[in-house]
C-alpha cells in the first residue's frame, strides 16, 4: 500500500480554497499511484473554527466540500477531517470526524473520542465524544482512524480521560494507524509529538501515519512536522516544519526502516520561523499587505522590524521613528542603521511639540503636580495616535512590539505602545528577545550590536532605565515563567530561592494588569501558555493583589 501524507495550510471558513488545495494534492497523489491520501483534522473548514460551528450554513458548506472530495475518490482513498452532524437529539450537535472516502462513497465516518478542553482548546464546547470504534478495511489491511488527541492517552495513563481509543481498536487487531491532527506549535511540542508517535507505534506494534496542518490561524501557528513511524518505533520520516509538504510512503519500505530519519532542530530558529509564518499568514489570510511600526531604538521594536521584513518583504514594511526630548541620540542612529541594514522605508516625526501642546492644554487640570507616569504615558499615546493615523490613511496594519515580560507586569501604555493589530513578540520573555536577536545576527549583523547591548529603557524621562523599577530580566522572567507557564503560587516560587518581597510584588503586578491584556492585540503563540485565548483569568479578582 502506498500512502500519501498531505500537510497543507488551510484557511478557516474558506471552503473554496481548502477544497482547491486538497483536490490539487489528490491529483498529485494519483499521478504518484498512491492508494490513499491523508489530510489533517477539520481540513474541510480549518482549525479551530470555534463558534462558526454553531452556524448551520457553515456545516452545510463543509458537507459540500466532503461531497466534492467524495467525487474525487474514484481511484484513491481519501481520509479527511470535517465536522459531522450528531443524528440523535441527546448530546452535542456535532462530532469532530474523520471521513474515509473511496469509490465515490463515504465508506466510514469515525468520530474523535478525546476532546481537549484546556489551554487553547475548547472542543467539548462543540463536539460529542465518540463511543464506538470501528476499523476500516482497505487493500487487505484494517485501519484505525484517530484524530489528534486520540493518540495522547497511551494506555489510559492521561488523567484527563477515561478512554484510550487505541486500546479499544487493539481488540480487533488493526494493521496501521492513521492520525489526522491540528497540533499547534510551541517550542517544546515538536519533541513531545515525536515521542507520542513513537510510543504509540511501540505499544501497539503497528505503523502510524500522522498528518498535521502547516500555517497560522490568528494567534495559533501550526508547524507541520507530520510523522511516520513503523511498528518498531522507528521515526521513518518527518515532513517539513512551517511549510506545506506532501510525501509518499510504501508500507513495506516503512516497516523495513531500521533507523530514525529526523533532523535536529534549533529552538530559536523554530521560533523565528513560527513568528515569520504567524505574521505572513495573518496578513495574507486577511487580504492585507503592508505593515507599520514604531521604531524606538530598543531591542523589541528592532526584533519585530526584522521579523516583519522577513515575513512580508522589505518593500511592505514602514518604520516610524518618533523621538522626544528624552530620546538619546544613539536611539535615532541605531534605528537608522537598522532600517538601512534591512532596506526598509522609514520616516522621522519629532513628538516634543505635540507633547508640549498636550501639556499646555492639560496644565490647568494637572496644576502643579510633579512629573509622573501621566507625562510618560502622554508621550507613548502621542506616538500611538501618530501610528494609528498613518495606519488609517495608508492602510498599513500596525504591529505591536511589546514583549511578554512587559505584558505580564503591565509595563505598557494602553492606547500608546500597546496599540496594534497583531502582537508579534508578546509570547517572548525579554531574555528570549535577546536570545532571538543574537540568533538573527549569527550570520552577520542585522540588528546593530548597540541595540542588543545597551541597557533597556523606555526613554520617557531623563536617564530612565528598566532596571530602575524592575529586577534584572533573568530574575524577573524566571519568576514570571514559574507563575504563568508552571502555575506555581508565591509560596512555591519563594521556596525555589526567590526573594519573597520581589515575588509578591511581581505576582501582584501580573494580576493587577489583567485589564490591559484584555485590550491587547492577538499574541502569536510560541509557548505552552501565552496571553490570550489559552489563559483566561478574571479582571476583577483579589488573588495576590
| Integer-rounded Cα radius of gyration of the chain | 26
**Residue 346, Cβ neighbours under 10 Å: how many?**
17
DSSP code at position 40: -
- CA gap 171, 160 in Å, rounded: 23
**Residue 494, Cβ neighbours under 10 Å: how many?**
17
* DSSP class per residue in 447-512: S-HHHHHSPP---SSTT--GGGTS--HHHHHHHHHHHHTS---HHHHHHTT--HHHHHHHHHHHHH
* DSSP class per residue in 171-238: TT--SEEEEE---B--TTHHHHHHHHHHHHHHHHTS-EEEE--EEEETTEEEEB--EEE-TTS-EEEE
CA atoms within 13 A on the CB side of 407: 28
Spot the catalytic one: 2, 41, 376, 406.
Answer: 41
170 is catalytic: no
**Could you tell me how many residues make up the chain?**
545
Give the relative orientation of helices 430-440 and 267-285 as an angle to the nearest 10 degrees.
90
41 is catalytic: yes
Spot the catalytic one: 2, 61, 112, 318.
Answer: 112
β-strand partners of 111 = 97
Please enumerate, as own/partner, the contacts of 149-157 that have beta carbons within 8 Å and a separation of 24 or more: 149/112, 149/114, 149/115, 149/116, 150/112, 150/113, 150/114, 150/179, 151/177, 151/179, 151/196, 151/197, 151/200, 151/208, 151/210, 152/114, 152/196, 153/114, 154/196, 154/199, 154/200, 154/203, 155/203
β-strand partners of 220 = 217
**Residue 406, Cβ neighbours under 10 Å: how many?**
25
Pairing between strand 136-138 and 141-147? antiparallel
The sheet carrying 227-229 orders its strands as 136-138, 141-147, 176-180, 208-211, 227-229, 235-238
Please enumerate, as own/partner, the contacts of 156-162 that have beta carbons within 8 Å and a separation of 24 or more: 158/114, 160/114, 160/116, 160/118, 161/114
Query: Does residue 297 contact residue 451 with C-beta atoms inside 8 Å?
Result: yes
Spot the catalytic one: 45, 113, 148, 437.
Answer: 148
148 is catalytic: yes
Helix (H) or strand (E) holding 399: strand 397-400
Catalytic residues, which ones?
41, 112, 148
Amino acid at each position: 500500500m502506498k500512502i500519501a501524507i498531505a500537510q497543507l495550510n488551510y484557511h478557516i471558513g474558506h471552503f473554496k480554497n481548502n477544497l482547491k488545495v486538497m483536490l490539487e494534492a489528490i491529483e498529485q497523489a494519483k499521478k504518484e499511484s498512491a492508494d490513499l491520501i491523508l489530510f489533517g483534522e477539520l481540513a474541510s473548514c480549518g482549525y479551530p473554527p470555534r463558534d462558526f460551528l454553531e452556524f448551520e450554513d457553515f456545516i452545510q458548506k463543509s458537507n459540500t466540500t466532503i461531497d466534492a472530495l467524495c467525487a474525487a475518490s474514484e481511484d484513491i482513498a481519501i481520509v479527511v477531517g470535517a465536522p459531522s452532524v450528531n443524528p440523535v437529539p441527546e448530546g452535542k450537535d456535532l462530532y469532530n470526524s474523520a471521513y474515509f472516502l473511496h469509490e465515490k462513497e463515504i465508506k466510514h465516518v469515525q468520530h474523535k473520542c478525546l476532546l481537549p478542553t484546556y489551554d487553547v482548546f475548547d472542543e467539548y464546547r462543540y463536539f460529542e465524544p465518540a463511543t464506538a470504534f470501528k476499523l476500516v478495511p482497505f487493500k487487505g489491511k484494517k485501519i484505525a482512524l484517530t484524530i489528534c488527541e486520540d493518540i495522547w492517552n497511551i494506555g489510559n495513563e492521561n488523567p484527563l480521560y477515561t478512554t484510550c481509543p487505541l486500546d479499544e481498536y487493539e481488540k480487533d487487531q488493526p494493521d496501521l494507524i492513521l492520525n489526522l491532527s491540528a497540533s499547534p506549535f510551541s517550542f517544546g511540542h515538536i519533541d513531545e509529538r515525536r515521542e507520542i508517535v513513537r510510543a504509540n507505534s511501540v505499544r501497539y506494534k503497528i505503523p502510524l501515519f500522522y498528518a498535521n496542518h502547516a500555517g497560522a490561524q490568528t494567534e495559533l501557528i501550526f508547524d507541520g512536522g507530520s510523522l511516520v513511524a513503523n511498528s518498531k518505533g522507528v521515526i521513518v520520516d518527518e515532513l517539513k516544519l512551517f511549510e506545506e509538504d506532501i510525501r509518499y510512503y510504501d508500507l513495506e519500505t516503512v516497516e523495513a526502516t531500521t533507523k530514525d530519519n529526523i533532523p535536529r532542530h534549533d529552538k530559536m530558529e523554530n521560533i523565528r520561523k513560527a513568528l515569520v509564518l504567524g505574521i505572513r499568514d495573518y496578513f495574507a489570510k486577511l487580504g492585507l499587505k503592508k505593515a507599520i511600526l514604531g521604531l524606538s531604538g530598543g531591542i523589541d521594536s528592532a526584533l519585530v522590524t526584522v521579523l516583519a521584513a522577513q515575513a512580508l518583504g522589505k518593500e511592505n514594511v514602514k518604520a516610524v521613528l518618533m523621538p522626544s526630548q528624552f530620546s538619546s541620540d544613539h536611539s535615532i542612529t541605531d534605528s537608522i542603521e537598522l532600517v538601512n541594514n534591512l532596506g526598509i522605508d522609514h520616516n522621522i516625526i519629532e513628538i516634543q511639540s505635540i507633547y508640549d501642546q498636550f501639556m499646555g492644554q492639560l496644565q490647568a487640570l494637572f496644576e502643579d503636580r510633579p512629573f509622573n507616569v501621566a507625562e510618560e504615558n502622554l508621550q507613548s499615546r502621542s506616538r500611538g495616535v501618530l501610528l494609528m493615523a498613518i495606519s488609517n490613511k495608508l492602510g498599513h496594519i500596525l504591529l505591536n512590539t511589546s514583549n511578554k515580560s512587559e505584558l505580564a507586569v503591565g509595563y505598557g501604555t494602553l492606547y500608546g505602545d500597546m496599540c496594534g493589530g497583531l502582537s508579534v513578540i508578546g509570547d517572548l520573555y525579554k531574555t528570549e528577545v535577546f536570545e532571538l536577536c543574537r540568533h538573527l545576527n549569527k550570520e552577520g549583523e542585522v540588528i546593530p550590536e548597540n541595540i542588543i547591548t545597551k541597557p533597556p529603557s523606555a526613554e520617557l524621562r531623563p536617564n530612565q532605565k528598566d532596571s530602575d523599577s524592575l529586577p534584572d530580566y533573568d530574575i524577573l522572567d524566571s519568576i514570571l515563567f514559574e507563575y504563568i507557564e508552571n502555575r506555581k503560587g508565591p509560596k512555591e516560587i519563594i521556596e525555589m530561592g526567590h526573594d519573597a518581597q520581589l515575588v509578591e510584588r511581581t505576582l501582584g503586578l501580573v494580576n493587577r494588569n489583567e485589564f490591559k491584556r484584555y485590550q491587547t492585540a492577538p499574541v502569536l503563540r510560541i509557548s505552552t501558555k501565552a496571553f490570550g485565548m489559552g489563559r483566561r483569568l478574571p479582571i476583577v479578582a483579589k488573588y495576590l493583589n
